């Protein structure tokens, strides 16, 4: 009742001071006049006007700088006969004890046939925020006295018996499972994948990650050379991951089956070294060429070995 009376009196006050503003009124209100620190406060601005009057959306946030704006609600609009009502809502809060006043909100509007922009002000809104009153000398008390639960020994013994039965059954089936498993050999398949298949799969995965397209150029060059060096170790039994580019090329020249990739490998590794150690930023075409060169190096040195599948029998 108090809230409705305040809102009604505020509306009468606005109507009395806005006679010259044609048929337009602006009412600001909150849902109470008294709050605790941190309470959510519903602040509304209601604009009532004739349908033919053009309203500019008011800058309400500029007048709410004294409070914390928690949420801005979507504006509500309704029309009744020749009157339209637009309501703006905000959930605000205040974190100190004080009397807070939200100043009047300026609403700009134009009347048809008149280009002059006019202003009508809402009423100021004042409310009080305070902390919870605490009795400094009062003793700290429990909300309720502690409850004493009587012990039911029969129920406890029944639960203990059920637990023992479950544990005994679990232990029995576990021992039976372990014994049965120990009696049966386990067949394990061992698959040996050729070096070239492993390397090409790794290159395809690296290409799908699109590292250099995302700006991770150095990581891209480091990974792609790591794949090729790993391939050299597995394919030609060279310690490629431990050698420099010049040392790698010297060792590679000693491998007869790698003579056809000597030139492209040298270019490939030197380009990667420029990026990794000289901070060289390559063109996109160079990054694309690195992937083509890597795949060409692998495809040009594929051995005649095939994928082997073997079965080993192991007892556990």
Residue 1's pLDDT is 45
In a domain, 171, yes or no: no
pLDDT for residue 18 is more than 70: no
CB of 271 closer than 8 Å to CB of 282: yes
Contacts of 132 (CB under 8 A, 6+ apart): 36
Instruction: Report the CATH number at residue 66.
Output: 2.60.40
Statement to judge: residues 26 and 121 lie in one domain: yes
Query: Does residue 7 sit in the same domain as residue 112?
Result: yes
Work out the angle at residue 24's Cα, subtended by the Cα atoms of residues 23 and 30, and round it to the nearest 5 degrees.
Answer: 145
**Do 12 and 115 fall within a single domain?**
yes
Domain that holds residue 268: 195-299
Q: With 70 as the cut, is the pLDDT of residue 312 above it?
A: no
Mean pLDDT, the chain, whole residue set: 81
pLDDT 10s digits, 107-137: 988 888 888 888 999 999 999 998 877 666 6
For residue 205, being part of any structural domain is answered with yes
Q: How confident is the model at residue 185 (pLDDT cuts 50, 70, 90)?
A: low
Structure confidence by residue, pLDDT tens digits, 191-227: 778 888 888 999 999 889 998 899 888 888 889 888 9
Give yes or no for residue 6 having a pLDDT over 60: no
For residue 144, the model assigns a pLDDT of 61
Q: Is 10 within a domain?
A: yes
pTM across the whole model: 0.39
pLDDT in tens, 24-60: 889 999 999 899 988 999 999 999 998 888 888 888 8
Average pLDDT value for residue range 82-100: 90
Q: What is the pLDDT of residue 177?
A: 86
In a domain, 188, yes or no: no
**Ranges 50-54, 66-70, 186-190, 308-312: which has the least confidence:** 308-312
State the total domains in the chain. 2
> Would you say residue 5 has pLDDT above 60?
no
User: Is residue 242 one of the residues assigned to a domain?
Assistant: yes
Question: Is the pLDDT reported for residue 20 higher than 50?
Answer: no
241 in any annotated domain: yes
Q: Based on the domain organization, do 112 and 20 belong to the same domain?
A: yes
Q: Is the pLDDT of residue 167 over 50?
A: yes
DSSP code per residue over 215-280: T-HHHHHHHHHHHHHHHHHHHH---GGGS-HHHHHHHHTT-GGGGGGHHHHHHHHHHHHHHHHS--
Query: Does residue 7 form part of some domain?
Result: yes
Is there a domain that residue 28 lies in?
Answer: yes
């Amino acid at each position: 009742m108090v809230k409705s009376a305040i809102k009604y009196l505020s509306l009468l006050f606005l109507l009395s001071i806005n006679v010259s503003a044609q048929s337009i009124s602006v009412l600001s209100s909150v849902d109470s006049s008294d709050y605790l620190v941190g309470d959510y406060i519903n602040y509304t601005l209601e604009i009532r006007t004739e349908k033919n009057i053009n309203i500019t959306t008011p800058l309400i946030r500029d007048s709410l700088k004294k409070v914390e704006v928690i949420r801005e609600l979507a504006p509500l609009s309704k029309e009744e006969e020749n009157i339209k009502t637009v309501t703006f809502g905000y959930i605000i809060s205040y974190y100190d004890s004080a009397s807070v006043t939200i100043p009047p909100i300026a609403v700009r509007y134009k009347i048809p046939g008149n280009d002059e922009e006019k202003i009508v002000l809402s009423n100021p809104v004042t409310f009080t925020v305070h902390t919870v009153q605490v009795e400094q000398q009062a003793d700290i008390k429990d909300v309720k006295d502690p409850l004493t639960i009587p012990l039911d020994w029969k129920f406890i013994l029944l639960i203990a018996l059920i637990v023992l039965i479950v544990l005994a059954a679990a232990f029995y089936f576990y021992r039976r499972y372990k014994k049965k498993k120990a009696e049966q050999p386990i067949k394990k398949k061992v698959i040996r994948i050729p070096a070239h298949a492993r390397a090409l799969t790794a290159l395809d995965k690296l290409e799908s990650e699109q590292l250099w397209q995302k700006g991770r150029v150095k990581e891209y060059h480091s990974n792609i050379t790591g794949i090729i060096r790993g391939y050299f170790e597995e394919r030609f039994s060279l310690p490629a991951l431990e050698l420099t580019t010049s040392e790698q090329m010297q060792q590679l020249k000693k491998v007869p089956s790698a003579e056809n990739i000597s030139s492209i490998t040298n270019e490939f590794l030197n380009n990667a070294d420029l990026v990794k150690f000289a901070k060289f930023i390559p063109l996109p075409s160079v990054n694309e060429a690195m992937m083509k060169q890597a795949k060409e190096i692998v495809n040009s040195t594929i051995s005649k070995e095939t994928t082997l599948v073997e079965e080993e029998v192991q007892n556990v």
